[in-house]
């Protein structure tokens, strides 16, 4: 049985959130050191939208002490999935969880990507742990009737995760799968054939910077940043993102993590 605390019933839609004890439904290694963990988390699963994130902590655990941020990768009924690379203490601990183990999840947090509308054409560009967003973005496109094309790049075939039931254009730096070159060059080729109405991106900062530099001209580009976070809720001031014209800083957790690329300066 999951414990739930719903907060802020009169807050704006994207700020309604919960803290709940979520239990592991299953945990799979889907590529080398890359895992998808599915949690029973009924309240947060009901609230979350594409591009929002959660903070995950381990009850009674002091190492790591702080919660870790993860985009919600998918929602299926009362369950939500996280997709992550086991790179540090938190993600390694997550990767070792077994069915029935519990974690504390705080979310959904952040703004998420803009709502999609019927017939709208969206290009989605993903790399690294940004690939987490494939399932939830595809679901939201299907629900809204938007036409979404997904471009997903990695160093080699070994670093690409296969997403069943999703049509994806792949790019690898060594040409071992899909387009031989960067995902940005692949996007460029498609862009010349057909222009979308908007672009969404999530992945390593150089990839986001290239999107911002090369495509943010006459169509909106929205990028999701993965600035390291401590509280995830605007309290610690630990996740600054430079505002484009030097006016100061946004907070990635509160004002983002999705920004119109025009608004920010990537560092
Ligand atoms: C909004 C948001 C969404 C995110 N979504 C995802 C997601 O969907 N999937 C995902 O995989 N990640 C995601 N991240 C990134 C994830 O939160 C971080 O990678 C997180 O720090 C991992 O926690 P960890 O304890 O495993 O690693 P940490 O211990 O925090 O380490 C993180 C990185 O720092 C390195 N590091 C750790 N300690 C040291 C040290 N002493 N010296 C040098 N380097 C060190 C690690 O090798 C690793 O690369 C997201 C981040 C944000 C802000
Ligand atoms: S993580 Fe604390 S203010 Fe953003």
Q: Which of 138, 160, 135, 143 is nearest to 79 (CA)?
A: 135
Segment 156-204, tens digit of pLDDT: 999 899 988 788 999 999 999 999 999 999 999 999 889 999 999 999 9
For residue 136, the SS3 value is: helix
pLDDT of residue 13: 57
- Rounded to whole angstroms, the Cα distance separating 226 from 237 reads 15
* pLDDT exceeds cutoff 90 at 118: yes
- Substitution site in 54, 62, 69, 92 for ligand 1 pocket (most atoms within 8 Å of beta carbon): 69
Region class of 80: left (phi > 0), else alpha (psi between -120 and 50), else beta? beta
pLDDT of residue 34: 93
Q: Which of 214, 211, 130, 127 is nearest to 171 (CA)?
A: 127
- Rounded to whole angstroms, the Cα distance separating 138 from 153 reads 17
Cα(99) to centroid(ligand 2), Å: 31
**CB of 108 sitting under 6 A from ligand 2:** no
* pLDDT exceeds cutoff 60 at 6: no
Cα(53) to centroid(ligand 2), Å: 13
């Amino acid at each position: 049985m999951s414990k739930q605390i719903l907060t802020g019933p009169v807050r704006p839609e994207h700020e309604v959130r919960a803290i709940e004890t979520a239990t592991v439904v299953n945990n799979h290694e889907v590529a080398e050191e890359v895992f998808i963990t599915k949690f029973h988390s009924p309240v947060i699963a009901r609230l979350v939208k594409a591009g929002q994130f959660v903070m995950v902590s381990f009850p009674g655990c002091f190492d790591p002490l702080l919660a870790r941020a993860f985009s919600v990768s998918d929602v299926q009924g009362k369950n939500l999935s996280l997709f992550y690379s086991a790179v540090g203490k938190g993600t390694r601990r997550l990767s070792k969880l077994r069915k029935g183990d519990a974690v504390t999840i705080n979310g959904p947090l952040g703004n998420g990507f803009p709502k999609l509308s019927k017939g709208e054409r969206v290009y989605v560009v993903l790399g690294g742990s940004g690939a987490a967003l494939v399932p939830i973005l595809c679901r939201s496109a299907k629900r809204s009737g938007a036409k979404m094309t997904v471009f997903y790049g990695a160093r080699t075939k070994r670093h690409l995760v296969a997403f069943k039931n999703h049509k994806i254009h792949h790019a690898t730096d060594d040409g071992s799968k899909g387009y031989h070159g960067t995902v940005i060059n692949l996007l460029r080729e498609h862009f010349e054939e057909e222009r979308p109405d908007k672009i969404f991106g999530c992945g390593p900062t150089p990839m986001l910077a290239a999107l911002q530099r090369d495509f943010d001209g006459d169509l909106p580009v929205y990028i999701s940043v993965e600035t390291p976070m401590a509280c995830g809720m605007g309290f610690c001031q630990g996740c600054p993102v430079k505002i484009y014209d030097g006016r100061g800083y946004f907070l990635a957790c509160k004002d983002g993590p999705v920004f119109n690329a025009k608004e920010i300066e990537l560092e």
